[in-house]
């Protein structure tokens, strides 16, 4: 057992002393991570094994090309992460539970010894996530469960390629590798918006460069524009809700107006879909399903500061090393100054 694994288990055991709910939660965290680590196999060995499925061997071969590109061209960490493979035999590695108060977009945060405070709680089983969600609903909170294909241990362990990362094709696998390695490159404790927006920018710009490296044409601007318009629509709804929640209204009135904002968002989405997208229904399932504050959280967390990082990358002369140094400097600022700096860059 490596020193890092001993450390993880020791931390988990200490946290188990804080109550029954903590016992259950941290026990499943330690067990889930341990099972994942035990499942890892070297990718090179799997590629060389003729008894492995041909499709898997080919996909892993292409994934290793993207992994090499990540280090050599994007200057992301050069380690054993994503040079290993683990088949977890389930569709997601974890299920994240997001929660907010009924009349707030501020996430209920949870703090951990290594990762700091984050805006969700992760479970290695869907049943565990559903149980957490049920408890949160009993407390009157808005709740959303999101399956996750991959996560980063921030360099504490050699993170593997997971079977959960393979189902969306080669390019999606490459983007996940870029995203998760970005977390290893720069990570600011207690600032989910900063970390996820940074990793999302590295993912997007890295994918653009990866396609060019392979001699592929740029991604269709139609799909990108639709995604950006949809994100803008959701973030606009978040802003209107934030303004609404600041008003001194009785709960029944607040609840009614909250639902009206969600209906407005759906109406505006249908207008986009039918009048500008030619009827493309790519977001129908999301838009037509039950809506609440927590369901909007991932958009603000993963996309809020992407324009700021894009501007910073341009200022850095599109030089990854210079860019990372700039990002690290911004990340070292006190929270209010960091937000002000990001807002300034986003305005550019």
Question: What is the rounded distance in angstroms from the CA atom of residue 7 to the CA atom of residue 4?
Answer: 5
pLDDT tens, 289-311? Answer: 999 999 998 886 777 899 999 99
Strand partners, 146: 96
| pTM listed for this prediction | 0.86
CA distances from 256 to 99, 253, 260 (A): 20, 5, 6
- Compute the half-sphere exposure of residue 274: CA atoms within 13 Å on the CB side of its CA: 6
pLDDT tens, 97-107? Answer: 999 999 999 99
Strand partners, 121: 97
pLDDT band at 9 (very low <50, low <70, confident <90, very high): very low
Tokens of 308: 């700021």
pLDDT tens, 106-151? Answer: 999 888 766 678 889 999 999 999 999 999 999 999 999 999 999 8
Exposed/middle/buried for 311, CB within 10 Å: 0-12, 13-18, 19+? Answer: middle
Largest CA-CA distance found in the chain, in angstroms, rounded: 67
pLDDT tens, 69-104? Answer: 999 999 999 999 999 999 999 999 999 999 999 999
Q: Are strands 84-86 and 161-162 parallel, antiparallel or unpaired?
A: parallel
Question: What is the rounded distance in angstroms from the CA atom of residue 133 to the CA atom of residue 126?
Answer: 10
The residue among 60, 71, 299 whose CA lies nearest residue 202 is 71
CA distances from 42 to 47, 79, 87, 137, 218 (A): 9, 13, 12, 42, 32
3-state helix, strand, coil in the chain (%, to 5): 60, 10, 30
Q: Where are the domains of the chain?
A: 1-38, 41-213, 221-347
């Amino acid at each position: 057992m490596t020193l890092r694994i001993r450390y993880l288990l020791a931390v988990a055991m200490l946290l188990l002393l804080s109550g029954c709910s903590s016992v259950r939660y941290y026990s499943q965290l330690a067990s889930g991570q341990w099972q994942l680590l035990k499942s890892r196999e070297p990718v090179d060995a799997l590629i060389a094994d003729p008894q492995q499925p041909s499709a898997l061997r080919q996909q892993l071969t292409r994934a290793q090309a993207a992994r090499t590109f990540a280090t050599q061209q994007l200057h992301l960490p050069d380690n054993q992460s994503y040079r290993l493979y683990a088949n977890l035999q389930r569709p997601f590695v974890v299920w994240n539970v997001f929660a907010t108060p009924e009349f707030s977009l501020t996430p209920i945060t949870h703090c951990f010894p290594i990762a700091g405070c984050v805006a969700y709680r992760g479970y290695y089983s869907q049943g565990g996530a559903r149980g957490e969600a049920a408890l949160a609903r009993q407390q009157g909170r808005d709740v959303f469960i999101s399956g996750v294909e991959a996560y980063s241990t921030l360099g504490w362990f050699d993170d593997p390629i997971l079977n959960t990362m393979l189902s969306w094709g080669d390019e999606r696998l490459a983007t996940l590798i870029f995203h998760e390695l970005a977390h290893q490159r720069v990570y600011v404790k207690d600032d989910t918006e900063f970390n996820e927006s940074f990793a999302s920018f590295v993912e997007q710009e890295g994918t653009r460069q990866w396609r060019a490296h392979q001699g592929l044409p740029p991604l269709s601007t139609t799909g990108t524009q639709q995604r950006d318009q949809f994100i803008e629509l959701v973030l606009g709804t978040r802003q209107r809700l934030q303004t609404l929640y600041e008003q001194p209204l009785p709960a029944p009135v607040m609840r009614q107006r909250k639902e009206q904002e969600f209906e407005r968002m759906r109406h505006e989405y249908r207008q986009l879909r039918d009048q500008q997208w030619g009827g493309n229904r790519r977001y129908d399932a999301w838009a037509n399903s039950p809506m609440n504050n927590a369901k909007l959280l991932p958009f603000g967390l993963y996309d809020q500061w992407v324009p700021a990082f894009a501007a910073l990358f341009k200022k850095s002369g599109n030089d990854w090393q210079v860019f990372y140094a700039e990002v690290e400097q911004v990340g070292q600022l006190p929270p209010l100054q960091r937000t002000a700096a990001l807002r300034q860059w986003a305005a550019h």
